[in-house]
Amino acid sequence: MMQTDEYIVPPAAQVPFHYDAFRFNDPERIDAIVDSFPLALFISTDGPRPLASHVPLLRMSGSRNLFGHVDAANPQFAGLRRIHAHIVFMGPDSYIPPEAYVTRQLPTWNYVSVHMSGVVEIINDLPRKLEVLRETAAFLQPDDAPYQFDAQDERVKRFAPHILALRVTVEHEEARIKLSQDKGPSDQHAALDHLLANRARSPRPLLETFLQPLDASTDD
């Protein structure tokens, strides 16, 4: 589905449903979530078919807009210039059992998320792609980190032609924060303690099942 520069992207749809107690539009708290959990679920459509990719997205300096990059072979973006997208950043989440509360409650699931919608410019211009890579490294790598972006690095020269840069003009954003706010303060904080304790459990045993055993692996 090729789009031209003159293609008119439909207006952004706002989040269709959530209770008001769990919806927040405070920019500072939204930014804190996005900065802490930048890997976004990036959702768009090709006709009636939904498409989704996991894409790290960062805030443009001095703006509510976002930038990032993807593999140029990704069919969600390849061959396109602009698309409309719904973007979800997911923070911590956990099942909250009845015994986690101070008072008698039913179980629930608590979570932290940010939903955004907007227009995405897909960029295949090499200088602009290099600029996005530079901005990404500047955001994620401390000034004293061993790796610092260098456009003349041979690895960068080989890599850059095979990516697409993304610039997202955000049209709507809101946080969806469910932390048992419909219950009393003691139960809210008890549920938070359970959520944080649950995150402390190591996922290593599960994640190691996706890797070769260490003694059988070979380094490139």
Domain boundaries, the chain: 20-215
Among residues 83, 75, 78, 47, the alpha carbon closest in space to that of 168 is found at 83
Q: What is the pLDDT, as a whole number, of residue 16?
A: 61
DSSP three-state, residue 20: helix
Residue 12 confidence (pLDDT) above 70:
no
Cβ–Cβ contacts within 10 Å for residue 105, how many? 19
79-101 as b/e: b if 16+ CB within 10 A: ebeebbbbbebebbebebeeebb
Question: Which residue matches tokens 């140029």?
Answer: 72
Average the pLDDT over each of 49-63, 119-133, 146-160, 198-212 and give the range with the smallest value.
198-212
Q: What does the pLDDT look like over 66-115, one tens digit per residue?
A: 999 999 999 999 999 999 999 999 999 999 999 999 999 999 999 999 99
User: By the 8 A CB rule, do 175 and 18 touch?
Assistant: no
Q: Provide the token pair at 177.
A: 């924060």
pLDDT digits (tens, 9 = 90+) for 142-168: 999 999 999 999 999 999 999 999 999
Helix (H) or strand (E) holding 128: helix 126-140
217 or 186, which is more confident? Answer: 186
Q: What is the rounded distance in angstroms from the CA atom of residue 70 to the CA atom of residue 162? A: 9
CATH number of 20-215: 2.30.110.10
- Of 80, 92, 50, which is closest to residue 179 (Cα–Cα)? 92
For the chain, what percent of residues have pLDDT higher than 90? 77
Q: What count of Cα atoms within 13 Å lies in the side-chain half-sphere of residue 46?
A: 10
